[in-house]
Amino acid sequence: MQFSLIIPGVGLGEAKEECGIAAVHLRRELKHYPSGGAAYYLCKMLLQQQNRGQLSAGITTYNAQRQQIIDTYADLGTVYEAFRISHPAKHKSIMERYSGTKGIGHVRYATSGCNDRSYAQPFERHHGRKWKWFAFAFNGNLANYSELKQKLIADDYHLVRDTDTEVMMHFMSKALVGDKRPDIANVFSSLSGQFDGAYNVAFIDAEGNLIIARDPIGFKPLCYGNDENVMLAASESAALTNLDVNKIEFPEPGEMLIAGNGDIEKKRFAQCKRKAHCMFEWVYFANVSSIIDSRSVYEVRWNLGKELAKIETEKPGAEHVIVPVPDTSKPVADALSYELGIPAKEGLIRNRYVGRTFIESSDRLEKVKDKFTLNRPVISGKKVILVEDSIVRGTTIKTLVQYIKKSGNAKEVHVRVACPPIKYPCFYGIDMSTLSELIAPRHMKASITEQYSGVSEKISEGIAKEIGADSLIYQTYGGLARAIGFENGAKSLCTACLNADYPTEWGHKLLEKAQQNFEKRKEKRTYEC
């Protein structure tokens, strides 16, 4: 039997989010706050966004009384591991060393680069002039990364990492060149004309200017909250409500918040020609207790279950039981249960005590067993309606169906998916940038580059057969839009992975490249080629 060191979820066929960001601005002296000041708040907010990345965590804080006016701490692992929370003395030491009145934070999952400490964000760029000495972190992915990288190389830059974060750092540095301090809004405006993709940014410099910026299309979620003592900002509202900030606002795409030495100022740095909020945030990525652009993630997932109930083909009977794949599918399954009158039970129990890395068999079934335990009394002899949030690569759901049938002795397994088929790559921060890794394109009759948002029976039947399910029903495209609930439906959403409607120029360019790579059997991430 072969064994290897792995990160849970990697290799199980799950889609991964790029990262989460956080920022804090304290309005009073440090003595009025818990030990660490900004570091304390950042650590708390990153803990509440651990779902967005587990490879590394880091913070940069500002303290005018330190010789290192801004200073960065980052390490591999979860927030709990990186900040040594299980070792009180070590954790206290980190909090004291990085105590500050302002700061930014980051949790990372890699869609580019590697699992190395040097890739952990925030990235800090030292300089003798305080307004050129900065640190930043971002959530997203630059679709035109390869083009920007080549421009830097042509200008005789040497890049030491294979990541768009380093490219962004150099372009920020170039925007700050000269002897005259530029207006920070103009800096970000200039950058927005060069960057194509998703990039929510948390930025801080050695003059104490704290910037939170949302990209001009609004791919990724961003929110902030104010009270008399503190301003907090984060990728998800759960990070703020956990710190008792309940009045939460959402910057518009192309807007930035500036926290200098005075009040918080909101400025527009780029025009929003089209909104394209990532639909996967509501379906899968975000914390279920978060609110994104005034829409509850929990309520959206409940609505997705109601929409699935409208197209259910099974006739409810005593043998049926609804089983969610933990944890994101539970609200969907609960709503489906409520609408159909079929009990929803925990037939799969997720192991919540597996650390960031552990030794496990290279066999896929063994990986699934490490992650999920069967609750046999719930599923034995039953017609199981297995509810999953999405199917990307198909490897996990195929193994789960096999597991439930053979080890759980289920009579039948009918798979229901809260999201329409994922047919096209994502180039904006989800780790699925190639066609070869997706299960749906193998079952599509039309050209891979043809925009198509429907859910054909051929696709469902083909995938059902491949994963061993007795039946498979996907969410409809209209059902997804209604569940999320924007007034103009899917027009405010990025649904490129469903219908190839990429909201930026480089999205379309990379789809063509992905098709070429697919035909040539190239496996490298598309935006890195």
Q: Which of 364, 362, 382 is nearest to 372 (CA)?
A: 364
Report the interhelical angle of 395-406 vs 364-371 (nearest 10°). 80
Q: How far apart are CA 495 and CA 87, in angstroms?
A: 44
Task: State the Cα torsion 443-447-448-452 to the nearest 10°.
Answer: -90
Q: Are 301 and 331 spatial neighbours (Cβ–Cβ below 8 Å)?
A: yes
Q: Are 202 and 222 spatial neighbours (Cβ–Cβ below 8 Å)?
A: no
Q: List, in sequence order, every residue forming a beta bridge with 104; answer none if it has no partner.
A: 23, 60
Q: Are 197 and 143 spatial neighbours (Cβ–Cβ below 8 Å)?
A: yes
Tokens representing 151? 């421009």
Q: Going edge to edge, which strands form the sheet with 19-26?
A: 70-76, 56-62, 102-108, 19-26, 230-234, 223-226, 248-249
Task: Name residue, tokens 């994502």.
Answer: 426
Helices (H) and strands (E) in the chain, counts: 17, 25
DSSP 186-227: HHHHHHHTT--EEEEEEEEETT--EEEE--TT--S--EEEE-
Side-chain-side CA neighbours of 3 within 13 Å: the count stands at: 4
DSSP 356: S
19 assigned to active site: yes
**Backbone angles phi and psi of 76, in degrees to 5:** -75, 155
Rounded to the nearest angstrom, the gap between the alpha carbon of residue 498 and the centroid of all alpha carbons in its chain is: 17
CA distances to 165, 219, 501 from 490, rounded to whole Å, are 30, 13, 11
122 prior amide bond cis, ω within 30: yes
∠ CA 518-463-442, rounded to 5° = 15
Q: Which of 389, 392, 502, 495 is nearest to 436 (CA)?
A: 392
Q: Which among 19, 419, 426, 497 is annotated as catalytic?
A: 19
∠ CA 479-485-486, rounded to 5° = 120
Q: How far apart are CA 302 and CA 305, in angstroms?
A: 5
Q: Which residues are catalytic?
A: 19
